[in-house]
Amino acid sequence: MQGVKDKNGVMRYVISLIVNGDYLTVTVKGNTLLVDLLRQQLNLTGTKRGCKLGNCGSCTVLLDGKAVSSCLVLAVEADGREITTIEGVAQSEKLDKLQESFIDNAAIQCGYCTSGMILSAKALLTKNPHPTETEVRTAIAGNLCRCTGYVNIVKAILAAAEA
């Protein structure tokens, strides 16, 4: 990873990472967070900011396949790693079965938690294709939803696992 001082003496780092399958090289500051790199520099605004402290799960992305809060990851730390955001879940026009299931089970209301919720569920189902209800609830317990009481979200994830 290369660092260059800009004319104000601030270090800028050139990092390379794979985002939703695309190899990208970008320049970030040391204190740039992954969530802000995604949203502000790469315009991937499907990743949301909700609390900035790792409590709400709105900014959940997959980092090398694991669900992480992108508000707690420095962009420089993502150098050389693979990231999946909500924009990378569908295969072009074809929605992922989790996305389909969220729609079919009325698991979406305001939608602000939905991206993170789907990515947490995606990480779970990839590792554990047939989870129990408790495993589903544990996997999404770090994704707060203020609209649904999680009822239909849990139903949607279990249904996607069945499918």
- Please check whether residue 40 is in contact with residue 27, taking contact to mean a CB–CB distance below 8 angstroms: no
Q: Residue 16 CB, nearest distance to another protein (Å)? A: 14
- In the range 32-71, which residues lie near another protein by CB under 8 A? 33, 36, 39, 43-58, 60, 63, 66-69, 71
Binds another protein by CB under 8 A, chosen from 126, 129, 151, 162: 151
Place of tokens 């050389």: 80
Establish if 6 lies at the interface with another protein (CB under 8 A). no
Binds another protein by CB under 8 A, chosen from 18, 77, 82, 97: 77
Q: Residue 162 CB, nearest distance to another protein (Å)? A: 18
Nearest CB to another protein, comparing residues 141 and 163:
141
Q: Residue 129 CB, nearest distance to another protein (Å)? A: 16
